[in-house]
Amino acid sequence: MSLKLEELNADNLQAAVSLSLKPGQEKYVAPVVHSIAQAYVTPTAWPRVILDQDQVVGFIMGNFDPENEIEAFRAGIWRLNVSGEDQGRGVGKFAVQALADEARSRGAERITVLWVPGEDGPEKFYLKCGFVPTGEILFGETVGVLKL
Ligand SMILES: CC(C)(COP(=O)(O)OP(=O)(O)OC[C@H]1O[C@@H](n2cnc3c(N)ncnc32)[C@H](O)[C@@H]1OP(=O)(O)O)[C@@H](O)C(=O)NCCC(=O)NCCS
């Protein structure tokens, strides 16, 4: 595998918005097109396409908003979608680490993520990546934090 993040552009947009998950996972993350629309109106959003060689295999969106009154929204993962076909190959973990590197370069000491609880949801993945639940629930979602 040769993984990298890339900014959205005219060449990768179509593949990014066409990403599909495994059946039943749609309740855990918004469609990529929705996230891109949110990024368009959110200056602090950090949307990136995940490529393996030159193939789009996923999408991650961070939010870096150090002044946000809610601590969980100051630096963290807002969205993460890995194509159903490419799950289980380390794509998600790579994207989390790349976002953590970006956060570190901006001076953050921790990143957060909110996930929808559920047996087939992303909780085990985030725990595997080192996130620790803070005990907080925001908008019905579990808050996890990763110290950098
Ligand atoms: C959750 C998601 C991003 C994980 O991406 P992925 O590329 O499949 O994960 P990786 O292959 O990088 O897995 C990293 C580690 O987590 C583990 N892991 C991943 N999903 C897991 C699961 N459902 N249950 C248990 N362990 C899991 C892997 O075994 C791997 O462990 P290892 O480091 O010991 O090898 C992906 O499944 C996805 O897009 N899900 C649907 C959307 C979603 O829920 N997004 C999160 C929104 S907050």
pLDDT tens column, 84-126: 999 999 999 999 999 999 999 999 999 999 999 999 999 999 9
**Per-residue confidence at 1, pLDDT binned at 50, 70, 90?**
confident
Backbone phi, then psi, for 33, in 5-degree steps? -60, -35
Task: Give me the pLDDT at residue 52, please.
Answer: 98
Residue 25 pLDDT grade (very low, low, confident, very high; cuts 50, 70, 90): very high
Mutate to test the pocket of ligand 1, among 50, 82, 125 (most ligand atoms within 8 A of CB): 125
Find the residues whose C-beta lies inside 6 A of ligand 1.
Answer: 21, 25, 28-29, 80-82, 87-93, 113, 115, 121-122, 124-125, 128
pLDDT of residue 104: 98
Using CA atoms, how far apart are residues 132 and 105, in angstroms rounded to an integer?
A: 22
Q: Which atom of ligand 1 is nearest to the CA of 93?
A: 12
**Counting every residue, how long is the chain?**
148
Listed by start position, the domains of the chain span: 3-147
| pLDDT tens per residue, range 31-86 | 999 999 999 999 999 999 999 999 999 999 999 999 999 999 999 999 999 999 99
Of 55, 71, 53, which Cα lies nearest the Cα of 109?
71
- Residue 44's pLDDT is 98
Fold of 3-147: Aminopeptidase (3.40.630)
